[in-house]
Chains A and B, each alone.
Chain A
Amino acid sequence: MKRALFLLAAFFPWPAFAALNIFACEPEWAALAQEIGGDKVAAFAATTARQDPHRIEARPSLIARARNADLVVCSGSELEIGWLPLLLQQSGNARIQRGSPGYLEASQAVARLEIPKVVDRALGDIHPSGNPHVHLDPRNIARIAEALAARLVQIDAANAAYYRERAADFGRRWASALEKWTRLAAPLKGVAVVVYHKDLSYFIAWSGMREAGALEPKPGLPPTPAHLAELIERMKRDPAKAVVFSPFNNPEAARFLSERTGIPAIGLPYTVGGTDKAKDLFGLFDDTIERLLGAAK
């Protein structure tokens, strides 16, 4: 009997009830939650750097995780609109519903870029609330860290001092890293890049780089030969320093453009886990800047 129970427990691993269960839609928020929550939280990333956060399915495994979550942290601004609403509905978990303390949209804590004046699907899959890929501006991470810490304090008041202390420590480390990145990224100012999707806009805005074009003809639509041909022509007149893409993008279009124009194609980590060096949020920015500096020379 005992053995049967043991087997059952192994087959259905029950989550650790001691820690606060955090369901992060993207790896960057899981990393941030772990930075601030330390060993008082168990952060689960619903997606990996290899997955496009726009195109995720409400898989049974994700419903099971959402069912036990105390806090959901997502980018928001319609990035997860194709799957998160279903997870929330199917989870049977009142703690994480929209409007509850257990539901945090990171992009709501910061100023968003590219809020469209005209909302029409003829323009591609645009986000009416603005560009949701807010984590690539390092100043946003600092603001969202504060919002996340406040939420942890609200949900788990017993450990409030612990969260505050860790948040303050993270804030100090982040501020000094930001100073370093600002110095390092100085040569990137004015450097033109071709992006795949508009998922680097916040980094570009922070570093003062210039977006010279996108491989996608319209947001969310895969590159087409006609659009690539037009980009090649544009690069002849106004050459960019690099063509960049994220780990979940097919690198073929970037390489195609690179071969035709001689502009280097560079894979950027995009999020935590996107490259070997991007092990955490600090590594994410270290590596992104380092890779771009290599091209900007």
Chain B
Amino acid sequence: MHRNVICAAALAAATAAPLAARAQDAELQRIREEIRQMKDAYERRIEALEKRLQETEARAAKAPEPPSEAPARTASRPAGEGAFNPAVSLILNGTASNLQREPGTFRINGFVPTRGEVAPPRRGLSLGESELALSANVDPLFRGTLMAALKPEGGIEVEEGYMQTLGLSNGLSVKAGRFFSGVGYQNQVHAHAWDFTDAPLVMKAFLGNQLADDGVQVKWVAPTELYMDLGVEAGRGRAFPGTDRSKNGFGSGTLFAHLGGDLGASYAWQVGLSHLRTSPRDRAYEDSDSSGAGVTNSFTGRSRLWALDGVLKWAPEGNSSEVNFKLQGEYFRRSESGSLTYDTQATSLGTQTGAYGSRQSGWYLQGVYQFMPKWRAGYRYDRLNAGATSIGLVNAGALTAADFPILGGYNPKRNTVMVDWSPSEFSRVRLQFARDYSRLGEPDNQIFVQYIMSLGAHGAHKF
């Protein structure tokens, strides 16, 4: 058979090889080795074939009854160091924007600018942040997760990087590192899983688009059939509404609680209440005063935010693959008190400081309906209420309200509709249209076409 032919060929090759030159010995050795390897490989294949033949014969012999034997195969486990590689996933996203107004001039009138990434994406075609996620269990006690945003303009930002406990019991879990704060509902959801291209106005105005703080979170799930959790976070307060500074201890604190459950087989719901408190120091923002000069102002004081959120999901008998509906809303209320310093760089009318107090609120409500497999349509209404802002320097007559134009009373609103198509769980293409009244007197028509692609490990999304 094959084996013999190979052996004969090998023998012939070996004996025919000239033996005279010593230099050729090494060459001969190499050829022998190659032939030996070939022979081994063929032997293994022949053995495997013989084994399969025997198995087939055995099966044929002992199968008088109709059902055939299920092939006994088990998954081959990856071996070696690579077997412990973390789960890796990559999110690609890109947007084509058509904006009536220059996104560089984006502001939310009535609300202090957050310096967060709140502006719409650039006009025209642009790559969004690519998200690289790595996660794995560290050992029986801990799990680690890193979510890095690769910026299209270059640079990497750690969106989230945290460890969490696996080993605690009695409903307790602890998270430490950088993570999206438990304030509100959508703040904890990664942007690629949002139902609209951009964040609700309340998140833009009150959380600087999305709040991720460095800190520790302790959460407890109650031992009840009705879902109930309580959580507390202590953080650095590094981002809006707080400010980063060199300080021992904590710069921000959050409390949250959720209730949730099912209503029959078709409905699931969750409501949450959360509170964020922080004390920013010299939280600066840019504005232009009554003379039209660009000035930097800053706030020092305390900031208190309350958020009430609710989600209701419907799917006939809990089967969401054909049609389903999701209703989601959040209400935010913030009060800030402290002092406001005008023109910290003394570029216009000179640096002056006075008292500052504001009570502001906002809400949004959105519904997303999957009307057939792969296709969803959604509508969102956003509303902000600038409320009452008291500026000491204006009250005392030192400056006028026109020196703080961005803080002038205005109630921004926005209407958004979208349709998206998800050919699989891992891809989505979305068309969104919004009429945005964030800028006073300058409504902005915004059209986005966006793709979101998930590569690698299968993601699991929170409710």
B134 to chain A, nearest CB (A): 15
A60 touches B169 (CB 8 A): no
Q: Is the CB of B261 within 8 A of A221?
A: no
For chain A, give the interface size range: 35 or more
B135: nearest chain-A partner, CB-CB: A85
A81-107 Cβ-contact flags toward B at 8 Å (1 or 0): 111111011111111011110000000
Which residues on A sit within 8 Å (CB–CB) of B223? 14-15, 67-68
Contact across chains for A94 and B321 when beta carbons are under 8 A apart:
no
Most interface-central of A81, A90, A100 (chain B CB within 10 A): A90
Question: A288: CB under 8 A from chain B?
Answer: no
Whether the Cβ atoms of A81 and B460 lie closer than 8 Å is: yes
Contacts of A206 in B (CB 8 A): 67, 70
Contact B321 A55 (CB under 8 A): yes
Q: How far is the CB of A6 from chain B (nearest CB, A)?
A: 15
Cβ-defined contact, B164 with A139, below 8 A: no
B247 at the interface (CB under 8 A from A): no
Contact A13 B225 (CB under 8 A): yes
| Nearest-CB residue, chain A, relative to B72 | A111
Q: How far is the CB of B349 from chain A (nearest CB, A)?
A: 54
Q: Once the chains bind, are A61 and B227 in contact (CB under 8 Å)?
A: yes
> Quick one: which of B252-295 are within 8 Å of A by CB?
258-262, 265, 268-270
Determine if B172 and A92 form an interchain contact, defined as CB atoms under 8 angstroms apart. yes
Give chain A residues whose Cβ lies under 8 Å from the Cβ of B71: 111, 113, 205
The answer to whether B227 touches A115 (Cβ under 8 A) is no
A81 contacts across to B, CB distance below 8 A: 458, 460
Taking a contact as CB atoms under 8 Å apart, the answer to whether B169 and A93 are in contact is yes
B143 contacts the other chain (Cβ, under 8 Å)?
A: yes
- Whether the pair B373, A112 counts as a contact (CB closer than 8 A) is no
Measured between beta carbons, the chain B residues less than 8 angstroms from A130 are 73, 75
List of A residues within 8 angstroms of B461 by Cβ: 57-58, 82, 86
Does A211 make an interface contact (CB < 8 A)? no
0/1 per residue, B65-86, Cβ < 8 Å to A? 1111011111110000000000
Interface residue B335 (Cβ < 8 Å from any Cβ of A): no
Question: Of the 9-residue stretches A149-157, A180-188, A232-240, A278-286, which lies at the interface with chain B?
Answer: A180-188
B320 close to A (CB within 8 Å): yes
Known: A92-B168, A97-B167. A13 touches B463 (CB 8 A): no
A208 at the interface (CB under 8 A from B): yes
Say yes or no: A99-B75 contact (C-beta < 8 A), given A61-B262, A92-B168, A189-B66.
no
Q: Contact check, A89 vs B224: say whether CB atoms are below 8 A apart.
A: no
Contacts of B75 in A (CB 8 A): 77, 112, 115, 128-130
Q: Which residues of A contact B313 (CB under 8 A)?
A: 57, 59
Contacts of B70 in A (CB 8 A): 111, 113, 137, 139, 202, 205-206
Contact B268–A57 (Cβ < 8 Å): yes
Binds B, one of A29-37, A44-52, A255-263: A44-52
Considering only CB atoms and an 8 Å cut-off, how many residues of chain B contact the other chain?
62
Tell me if B265 and A94 are in contact (CB < 8 A).
no
Contacts of B262 in A (CB 8 A): 59, 61
Binds A, one of B177-185, B233-241, B421-429: B421-429
Chain A window 142-181, contacts with chain B (Cβ cutoff 8 Å), 1 for yes, 0 for no: 0000000000000000000000000000000000000000
Contact of A94 among B169, B222, B261 (CB under 8 A): B169
Determine the chain A residues whose CB is within 8 A of the CB of B261 once the complex forms. Answer: 60-61, 64
Chain B residues, CB < 8 A from A99 = 140
Which of A52, A60, A188 lies in contact with B321, CB distance below 8 A? A52
Please, which residues of chain A bring their CB within 8 A of the CB of B269? 60
What is the chain A residue whose CB lies nearest that of B265? A48
Cα of A129 to Cα of B219 in the assembled complex, Å: 34
Please indicate the chain A residues that have their CB under 8 angstroms from the CB of B15 in the complex: none
A-chain residues with CB within 8 Å of residue B318 when the two chains form the complex: 47-48, 50-51, 56
Point out the residues of chain A lying under 8 angstroms from B459, CB to CB: 82
| Chain A residues within an 8 Å CB radius of B224 | 12-14, 64
Q: Is the Cβ of B260 less than 8 Å from the Cβ of A60?
A: yes
Q: Which residues of A contact B417 (CB under 8 A)?
A: none
Q: Is the CB of A52 within 8 A of B319?
A: yes
16 residue pairs from A and B, CB less than 8 Å apart: A12-B224, A15-B225, A57-B313, A57-B320, A58-B460, A58-B462, A58-B463, A60-B463, A64-B224, A82-B425, A97-B140, A111-B72, A111-B74, A112-B74, A205-B71, A222-B321
Apart from the given pairs A50-B319, A60-B270, 20 other A-B contacts in the complex at a CB distance below 8 Å? A11-B226, A12-B228, A59-B268, A64-B227, A82-B458, A86-B460, A89-B164, A89-B166, A92-B173, A94-B169, A98-B137, A113-B70, A115-B76, A125-B425, A128-B75, A130-B75, A182-B67, A186-B65, A205-B70, A250-B321
Please give me the 5 A-B residue pairs with the lowest Cβ-Cβ distance, nearest first: A60-B260, A60-B227, A92-B171, A64-B227, A189-B66
Q: Using a CB–CB distance below 8 Å, which chain B residues touch chain A?
A: 65-68, 70-76, 137, 140, 143, 164, 166-173, 219-228, 258-262, 265, 268-270, 313, 317-322, 373-374, 423-426, 455, 458-463
